[in-house]
Structure 1
């Protein structure tokens, strides 16, 4: 027997050793709670076999190349398997009362004088897409709020591409925005909830999660690589009820590929890239999945190294392509299934980022160039450990207990030289950030039909963030005042969805939080003396509704609030600190969502949101370039978003999305702000569109092509001089092609197809912002050739 067939025949024997049921026939006849996410068909069948308590085997070699949409509901094993295989070249044959075999569907042959046969029975509704970020597995159609799911195969977020980063996620959805200071120090924004363009000690407005645990508490997005990622889920905010402080704009949840307990698998991926008038780049990554004890214990290891070629020249120092960035990291996950319904996942994520210089240029200079006295490097070391205990009962009850530990150390330098002097006086401004985070959450939930169900949970967070600063000549740096904050957060949260009728479901919930933050102005990272404190106890409610207007069309409405913690922060002027107030946000939204009926058809959504944001916290810089943090006041804005996903025929897909934002800042809402000022770094208009086509070349090969375009409207880096500098207002296109044969996949992509010259971010070095000449250009036209081999 060939190795692929032997591997799959062994791997898909179901995990029935832990099922406690009276007989095989009873097992096959009873309905069970089934929730199988979209995945390659071999993995999806293995998960279904475990959940249904039956044996499913196959000797077919091509199952890993077919992607299924998943299946959800209370179903018999036979019905669940039929839904899972709908639209695929395979069908299920019953072997006995509790065993099935997957075989290729027979090919119909033309014969003469065939009597007319009755039409086949209508196909049942396709399985619903399940959103796991809601913490109780709600179907996407019935979720009462705005959300976006970026999945491999539907977007450019390919799990086989080592170059996949959060920049690809931002490009795929206009609802996401971000700064462009550099990987590991960018800020993410969701639906226009943007506080400022600079990183500092405040919490981000968008919380990023790796599976069930947060990746950070304060500071920027650490920039984790998305290689071997199953999907990215974006829940638009606020998400105070489910995720607590720091989720005022929403959450981004990275969902990694899980450990497969029944199949040996491995991939090796590599790519080479060339940037016009820039440095070449390259990437190398690999994954291995090993069952250590069939059906009970396994591990999955991922490693990657990505080098992005530079394209910025420094004319003063006579250097070319100074902004090269290198990312090296990996993940190790261990999964155990000690008993029926139980899984225990333990994982480690490690990643380092090294950038020898910043990626901004100066408008007054020819080409993509600038003049700096000093190099401005960045270095980050990131480590995340997690343990997740999961228990599913046959009646739908679901227990999750997740614990995470995060350690992040980052160092930056900015050129603060007095360039007007002759010769220039070299001065450096250095920051040293050290963050430690412990998080724990335990919750119990039950999912029902039509969006009904409930959950209750408790969460604990302990965070310590130190932000130290030095200033002066590079060889004689002196400490200046920084800040250390220590936060303890305890919360009790719950949510319930009640189906008043099959069409109407009401969701109510709330989160009771007690939080204390103690801070200390420091000039080193060794402080243990906390001299100030602030305690906050608050209730953040949520109220939502989902109304099924047609079998695949639903309306939704939602109200929710959230907050970010306050504490000691660096104030305007060297050597000063301030006590930051918590900021609060309230959002009301309504919308319509349509899911596709079958593999062909139209899906999409449209939504309107109203936001009220008070005591806005923002990391800013003064006219001399020194960063500080302040409360800016109140802002209110409206947002309109929509997306369409149309599959007119098999293999052909059109997609488009748009986000419109209207901001009005009341008089007196912050220092030097005027009525009509916009929230920084959020364009009034953002849009994207793409078209793709996949076709089969033979029994074991296929090809595909895709093209896309996105537009980022005008915004400003800040709301007051000298930060009211325009950025954005550009369009950028990409083109890609792929060829797959058996387990080999080759790809070719061209980013910035027409070599556009747009400004991604009108900043870089805070000490040069007063000159109003800095900008971060689009990466010039870049061609990447890549390949993946899977076993």
Structure 2
């Protein structure tokens, strides 16, 4: 049952709470904050130079962000908390070159980095997602991993690192465009501390929601062993109404989970980190709005859709356990990691407009039959890695190691037929179509990156990774058209080698120039419909690959007041895995080439200890340069067409100002402007679902707060002007002219959030 709040009362209570905290600064306790953040007055006067010294582990060694010879965007935990970032969609618009094929709910969609994406038909990842050293993205050719974007709660993390361009030598398969790493906070044996947070939100045109988060760090053996426990529960409000059933705010979500982490300094040289994580996401529906076919005009009105009862929702489950052992030697560190990840995603969709009318048109099911789609990828994945990370040894330093992964995935897809009352039709029509794909994937890899210092200011790096994978794929299916198919099984194996070369010149500690060339690959695999293969069709699909060439500069002033980075890049993508048509059958094939040109700019200014402003700009020109006739006929794509769902321009600009009222109380004020240019939804030549221009969108966020020693209160208004914007547009027609609506995935309308945090 949904509980609805009186909005006027809710907002007046929020304002009263802010005034109350301002009136009683003595409530703040005279002790430092325990969770890596200083009290408000100290934070307002923090040394800007220290803020610039962000340490990242993108190259699997700790180094300053400024020194990494690659494009990396890092969002610190403080930035995430200040901006109220909770889901992937919240931070994607802050990172140049990062976007998503958004499926309309937390945990769903396809990560797109630097435009490497082929549209709705893409089933495997071109960008990877990691939590610490645990990869959450599957690599198998038929794993259908592109349906899900992991969306862990971001309340207890150290930072997010977004690595741009292929990361093949250190991170392996399926990181063609790069990867996203969520770095969690480790347990700290030095002291006891914790935090608790309550949050309330109301969304225009929609519902109210709330969230609770807590974390505690407990030393078990002083300065040796500690455990960190965190948990979260969030009711994310919805704003989409279903005109068919009369339900309101159907896209609300319940997100809950927790994490436990153990850190042990076993000796002066040996450290052990263990972690367990779980998360459940229950989406009642998606944020799709029904539009007039082929347009962005609402069909039923703003934020409305028409779906039959019991559809539109999704459930996502994550379970993971990981461990890292680090042994320091005089020459470097031996690092051993292992991780087990289990995930399951289930969708229930209304396919009546597409399949119901189509099947009834041919007399297969009665007119008025409802068709419900049930599908979703499931994954078990184990990975381990042993690497040596050297110290500077004279003129050289290096990272070298071995990697192993095993994954078992399956993808069931079914179409269930019901009458107008929701009752299943008699067998065999109750299950109009069913297919389940099983995929097992194993990979062995050896890798190494070697840096040679020609001088202390000039160095070169070369890297190589050799990987071998084995896959076994089986499929069973049945339809009302052909009857059941016998299960079939196919084996496949492949080798891949990726390379890295960089040159870096650092004339000073505040200035760095670099040039980089790197390659990456996405595994190939076998066709599944082997019994139906025409003579000229591919029986095995090769891995596709990219080469990324970029040059960049990173700079900061001596006192850290100003910093910035800029990069220009060019990407060649070859042997692209695309849907093709052979003899009237849609199959996979290596069928095209693409190029991407772009640049990324990040600027940050701290003219005083109390004021920070910045801007991130991305330009991406991703287009097909050649395509086989078989793929062009299937997709409606031609040479020169833009790759779908990548905006040409993205801009995010922000400013924050602290106002110290006293030594123990400070106010904070800030805002963010985000702009995303228009982009194509698909390919213009598609016969059934031609591309629609997704309009550009600009949003403004404002925030204000009070900070005391150990306490903070913040009021945020996101999408201040209540802009209706889309992250994607998709059609569901099976044949040209089929009268189905276009579904536009909407951004969240204006949202007002009050957040209260206590730290001890």
Q: Distance in 1 between matches of 2:213 and 2:529?
A: 43
After superposition, the Cα gap between the structure-2 partners of 1:429 and 1:292, relative to the gap in structure 1 and judged at 3 Å, is same
- Give matches, 1:338-737, under 5 Å: 338-363=266-291, 364-374=299-309, 375-393=311-329, 395=330, 397-418=332-353, 424-448=368-392, 453-474=397-418, 475=424, 476-523=430-477, 531-568=489-526, 579-599=540-560, 601-617=561-577, 631-669=590-628, 670-671=631-632, 672-719=636-683, 720-721=685-686, 722-737=689-704
Contact 2:316–2:345 (CA<8 Å) still a contact in 1?
yes
Residues 707-741 of structure 1: per-residue CA shift (max 9 Å, x gap): 01111111122224215122141111101112111
Aligned residues: 674
Contact 1:150–1:157 (CA<8 Å) still a contact in 2?
no
Q: Distance in 1 between matches of 2:86 and 2:394?
A: 35
Q: Give the secondary structure class of the aligned counterpart of 1:169.
A: helix
Q: Give the secondary structure class of the aligned counterpart of 1:133.
A: coil
Q: Distance in 1 between matches of 2:587 and 2:747?
A: 28
**1:300 has 2:228 as partner:** yes
Q: Which has the higher contact order (CA 8 A, sep 6+)?
A: 2
Cα shift at 1:66: 7.3
TM-score (norm 2): 0.82
* Runs of 4+ deviating beyond 6 Å: 85-90, 123-127, 527-530, 570-578, 619-622, 764-770
Cα shift at 1:705: 1.2
Residues 380-402 of structure 1: per-residue CA shift (max 9 Å, x gap): 11101101111223x46112111
Which residue in the other structure is 2:14 paired with?
none
Mean CA deviation greater in 463-472 or 562-571: 562-571
Q: Distance in 1 between matches of 2:380 and 2:587?
A: 22
Cα shift at 1:481: 2.6
Cα shift at 1:571: 7.1
Contact 1:725–1:772 (CA<8 Å) still a contact in 2?
no
- Give matches, 1:246-325, under 5 Å: 246-325=174-253
Cα shift at 1:662: 1.8
Q: Distance in 1 between matches of 2:654 and 2:52?
A: 25
Q: Where does structure 1 lack aligned partners over 5 or more consecutive residues?
A: 1-58, 69-84, 91-122
1:221 to 145, 149, 155: 149
Q: Distance in 2 between matches of 1:710 and 1:652?
A: 20
Cα shift at 1:222: 2.4
Contact 2:37–2:43 (CA<8 Å) still a contact in 1?
no
Q: Distance in 2 between matches of 1:693 and 1:621?
A: 57
Q: Distance in 2 between matches of 1:609 and 1:240?
A: 17
Q: Distance in 1 between matches of 2:119 and 2:467?
A: 26
Residues 324-343 of structure 1: per-residue CA shift (max 9 Å, x gap): 11111111111211101321
After superposition, the Cα gap between the structure-2 partners of 1:674 and 1:513, relative to the gap in structure 1 and judged at 3 Å, is same
Q: Give the secondary structure class of the aligned counterpart of 2:91.
A: helix
Contact 2:437–2:475 (CA<8 Å) still a contact in 1?
yes
After superposition, the Cα gap between the structure-2 partners of 1:373 and 1:334, relative to the gap in structure 1 and judged at 3 Å, is same
2:101 to 168, 179, 193: 179
Contact 1:642–1:659 (CA<8 Å) still a contact in 2?
yes
- Give matches, 1:176-255, under 5 Å: 176-181=98-103, 182-197=105-120, 200=123, 202=124, 204-217=125-138, 218=143, 219=145, 220-255=148-183
After superposition, the Cα gap between the structure-2 partners of 1:685 and 1:461, relative to the gap in structure 1 and judged at 3 Å, is same
Q: Distance in 1 between matches of 2:523 and 2:49?
A: 49
Contact 1:136–1:453 (CA<8 Å) still a contact in 2?
no
Cα shift at 1:158: 4.9
Contact 2:570–2:595 (CA<8 Å) still a contact in 1?
yes
Contact 1:360–1:774 (CA<8 Å) still a contact in 2?
yes
Mean CA deviation greater in 377-386 or 140-149: 140-149
Q: Distance in 2 between matches of 1:296 and 1:249?
A: 40
Which residue in the other structure is 1:135 paired with?
60
- Give matches, 1:29-68, under 5 Å: 61-62=31-32, 64=34, 67=37
After superposition, the Cα gap between the structure-2 partners of 1:617 and 1:281, relative to the gap in structure 1 and judged at 3 Å, is farther
Q: Distance in 2 between matches of 1:774 and 1:628?
A: 26
After superposition, the Cα gap between the structure-2 partners of 1:126 and 1:157, relative to the gap in structure 1 and judged at 3 Å, is closer
Q: Distance in 2 between matches of 1:300 and 1:456?
A: 31
Mean CA deviation greater in 337-346 or 570-579: 570-579
Cα shift at 1:667: 3.9
**1:762 has 2:729 as partner:** yes
Contact 1:450–1:505 (CA<8 Å) still a contact in 2?
no
Contact 2:711–2:757 (CA<8 Å) still a contact in 1?
yes
Q: Where does structure 2 lack aligned partners over 5 or more consecutive residues?
A: 1-28, 292-298, 361-365, 419-423, 425-429, 479-484
Q: Distance in 1 between matches of 2:248 and 2:338?
A: 45
Which residue in the other structure is 2:25 paired with?
none
Mean CA deviation greater in 719-728 or 565-574: 565-574
Which residue in the other structure is 1:151 paired with?
76
Contact 2:346–2:374 (CA<8 Å) still a contact in 1?
yes
